Amino acid sequence: MNILIINSSKTAFGGLENQTLHLARALSGRGHAVLLGCAGGSPVYKKALESGVPVEEIAFTNAGDPVAVFRLLRAIHRHKPEVVVATMGKEYWPVTIAAKMTGRKAVLIRHMADPLKKLTRRLVRAAVDNVIAVSGFVRQGLIEAGLPDEKISVVHNGIETGRFAPRPGLRPAVRAEFHFSDGDLVIGAAGALNAGKGLFVLLEAASLFQKEFRSPKKVKVLLAGEGEGRPELGKKAAELGVEAVFAGRRLDMDRVYQAMDIFVFPSVCRESFGMVVIEAMAAGLPVIASSVGGVPEIVKDGENGILVAPGDPRALARAMELAAASEGEISKRIAAGARESVEAVFSSRAMAARFEAVLKAIMP
Summarised one tens digit per residue, pLDDT across range 201-252 is 999 999 999 998 887 789 999 999 999 999 999 999 999 999 999 999 998 9
217 Cβ contact list (under 8 Å, min separation 6): 183, 184, 185, 324
Distances (CA, A) of 190 to 45, 53, 186, 288, 348: 25, 28, 13, 13, 21
Cα–Cα dist 189/197, whole Å? 10
Of the given ranges (188-192, 257-261, 280-284, 334-338), which has the lowest mean pLDDT? 334-338
Q: What percent of the chain has pLDDT over 90?
A: 87
- Overall average pLDDT of the 13-26 stretch: 90
Burial readout 9-30 (b: 16 or more C-beta within 10 A, e: otherwise): beeebeebbbbbbbbbbbbbee
For 62-119, the pLDDT digits (tens) are 888 899 999 999 999 999 999 999 999 999 999 999 999 999 999 999 999 888 999 9
User: In a 3-state reduction of DSSP, which class is residue 324?
Assistant: helix
- pLDDT of 327 strictly over 60: no
Contact 210, 200 (CB under 8 A): no
Write down the pLDDT at residue 47.
93
Which residue ranges form the domains of the chain, and what is each CATH number?
Answer: 2-158+347-362 (3.40.50.2000), 168-345 (3.40.50.2000)
Write down the pLDDT at residue 115.
86
User: In a 3-state reduction of DSSP, which class is residue 206?
Assistant: helix
Cα–Cα dist 11/324, whole Å? 40
CB neighbours of residue 81 within 10 Å: 22
- Overall average pLDDT of the 307-320 stretch: 97
